[in-house]
């Protein structure tokens, strides 16, 4: 399969009053056609900043992508002109955001907002764009879509709004859809519906997806490949089966153990990871997870591990083999 996205050494920092926040610290990943990559990690670990850096949507100042490249079909998104990247946003790579309430413009009609990418990128006139928008809204399951084009965002429920958001992101048939925690703000039942919808549409339209979440349960059935982030680093990446079956980073293991599971002992206590995620004010010289890690050894405190091979196509940034508790 052809490679769509290739991100190398992506680094993003924020200059704040307290100092420089190292939000993303050299992230690498690939995305091939039709593939779904799940990115998981605690709040503040840099998931949003990673994908927004790619599309240059980081508020600047204070944010700045300081290093790396993000190749889309071989062209570096970070070096393009503003005009070039504008033609890619919403047309070839589009995004869905976490909060469907605040991510729509409250004073513009749904029809206008869903049709807008078509007018921008495909040169359609208002009429054609609205027709196509209606089709798309029907596809995501908005009943009586045609009658609802003139409605405003506040007239839709949260779940419906997120469906509309998906329709809006897909009207131009992008080859990559980035979903940044699209279900976090929704009820559990609605969450499942949205995930189903995304799966459905992916199979119908064949786009590749990056699905960000901090819920390992939601992503398991959706992703082909997983990347776990911690403190601005990808600390483990593997095909989804391998990651769930054979987690090789103590943090991933911790995340999995904190999930309620029906297939194992129901009376098992859920485990939590002690401590707080780091906010990095400088490049770390030790493993950023070391202070919270129960497997910690001397080397972890003096050298930040790079991604090491832990299995076929399975990489982990940990010096320690979790089975043997010895160095890899």
Partner 1 sequence: MGRYIIRRILYMLVVILVVSFITFGLMHSVPGGPFDKEKSLPAEIIANLEKRYHLDQPLWKQYLSYLNDVFVPHIAHEKPKGLDVADDYLIDIKITDTFWIRWMNFGPTFSSRSRSVNDIFRQQLPVSVQLGTLALIIAIIIGVPLGIISALKQNTIYDYLGMSIAIFGVSVPVIVLGPLMIWIFGVTLKWLPPTGWGSKPPYIFGFLPTNLGWDYWKYALMPSVALGLGSSAILARLTRASLLQVIREDYIRTARAKGVKERNVIVGHALKNSLIPVVTILGPMMAGLVTGTFVTELTFGIPGMGKYFVTSITNRDYPVIMGTILLYAVFLVVANLLVDIMYAYLDPRIRYD
Ligand X SMILES: Nc1ncnc2c1ncn2[C@@H]1O[C@H](COP(=O)(O)OP(=O)(O)OP(=O)(O)O)[C@@H](O)[C@H]1O
Interaction site with ligand X (CB under 6 A): 14, 16, 21, 23, 41, 43-49, 59, 62-63, 181, 214, 279
- The secondary element (H helix, E strand) that includes residue 39 is strand 36-40
- Does 107 participate in binding partner 1 (rule CB under 8 A)? yes
23 by Cβ neighbours in 10 Å (0-12 / 13-18 / 19+) ranks as buried
> Using CA atoms, how far apart are residues 307 and 293, in angstroms rounded to an integer?
17
Within positions 38 to 57, which residues make up the interface with partner 1, using CB under 8 A? Answer: 55, 57
CB of 280 to Mg ion, least distance (A): 16
* Strand, coil or helix: 253: helix
Within positions 178 to 207, which residues make up the interface with partner 1, using CB under 8 A? Answer: none
- Does 120 participate in binding partner 1 (rule CB under 8 A)? yes
| Greatest Cα pair distance in the chain | 66
Question: Using alpha carbons only, what angle is made at residue 53 by residues 185 and 248, rounded to the nearest 5 degrees?
Answer: 75
205 by Cβ neighbours in 10 Å (0-12 / 13-18 / 19+) ranks as middle
* Strand, coil or helix: 239: strand
User: Which entry of partner 1, Mg ion, ligand X, none binds 46, CB below 5 to 8 A by partner kind?
Assistant: ligand X
Could you list the residues that contact Mg ion (CB under 5 A)?
A: 48
> Using CA atoms, how far apart are residues 147 and 144, in angstroms rounded to an integer?
6
> Using CA atoms, how far apart are residues 239 and 71, in angstroms rounded to an integer?
22
Nearer to ligand X, 130 or 233 (CB): 233
Nearer to ligand X, 48 or 316 (CB): 48
User: Which residue in 106, 123, 306, 312 binds partner 1 (CB under 8 A)?
Assistant: 106
Our CA dihedral for 81, 84, 86, 91, rounded to 10 degrees, sits at: -160
User: Which entry of Mg ion, ligand X, partner 1, none binds 49, CB below 5 to 8 A by partner kind?
Assistant: ligand X
CB of 48 to ligand X, least distance (A): 3
- Does 209 participate in binding partner 1 (rule CB under 8 A)? no
Nearer to partner 1, 108 or 276 (CB): 108
- Does 154 participate in binding partner 1 (rule CB under 8 A)? yes
User: Which entry of partner 1, Mg ion, ligand X, none binds 14, CB below 5 to 8 A by partner kind?
Assistant: ligand X
* Strand, coil or helix: 213: strand
Residue recorded with tokens 């900043």: 49
- Does 126 participate in binding partner 1 (rule CB under 8 A)? no
- Does 105 participate in binding partner 1 (rule CB under 8 A)? yes
Residues that bind partner 1 (CB under 8 A): 55, 57, 59, 82, 86-91, 94-95, 97, 99, 102-108, 116-117, 120-121, 152, 154, 168
């Amino acid at each position: 399969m052809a490679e769509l996205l290739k991100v190398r050494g992506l680094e993003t920092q924020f200059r704040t009053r307290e100092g420089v926040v190292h939000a993303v610290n050299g992230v690498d990943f690939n995305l091939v056609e039709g593939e779904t990559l799940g990115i998981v990690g605690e709040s503040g670990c840099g998931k949003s900043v990673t994908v927004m850096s790619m599309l240059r949507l980081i508020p600047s100042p204070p944010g700045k992508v300081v290093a790396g490249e993000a190749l889309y079909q071989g062209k570096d998104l970070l070096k393009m002109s503003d005009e070039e990247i504008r033609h890619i946003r919403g047309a070839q790579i589009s995004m869905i955001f976490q909060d469907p309430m605040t991510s729509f413009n409250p004073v513009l009609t749904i029809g206008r907002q869903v049709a807008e990418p078509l007018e921008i990128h495909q040169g359609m006139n208002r009429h054609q764009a609205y027709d196509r928008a209606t089709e798309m809204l029907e596809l995501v399951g908005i009943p009586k879509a045609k009658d609802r084009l003139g409605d405003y965002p506040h007239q839709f429920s949260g779940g419906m709004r997120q469906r509309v958001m998906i329709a809006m992101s897909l009207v131009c048939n992008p080859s990559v859809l980035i979903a940044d925690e699209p279900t976090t703000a929704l009820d559990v039942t609605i969450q499942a519906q949205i995930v189903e919808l995304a799966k459905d549409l992916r199979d119908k339209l064949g786009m590749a997806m990056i699905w960000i979440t901090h819920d390992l349960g939601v992503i398991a059935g959706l992703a082909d490949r997983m990347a776990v982030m911690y403190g601005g680093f990808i600390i483990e990446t593997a095909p989804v089966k391998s990651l769930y079956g054979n987690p090789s980073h103590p943090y991933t293991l911790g995340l999995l153990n904190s999930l309620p599971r029906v297939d194992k002992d129901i009376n098992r206590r859920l485990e939590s990871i002690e401590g707080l995620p780091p906010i990095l004010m400088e490049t770390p010289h030790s493993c950023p997870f070391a202070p919270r890690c129960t497997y910690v050894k001397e080397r972890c405190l003096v050298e930040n591990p790079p991604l090491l091979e832990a299995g076929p196509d399975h990489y982990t940034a940990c010096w320690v083999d979790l089975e043997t508790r010895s160095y890899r």
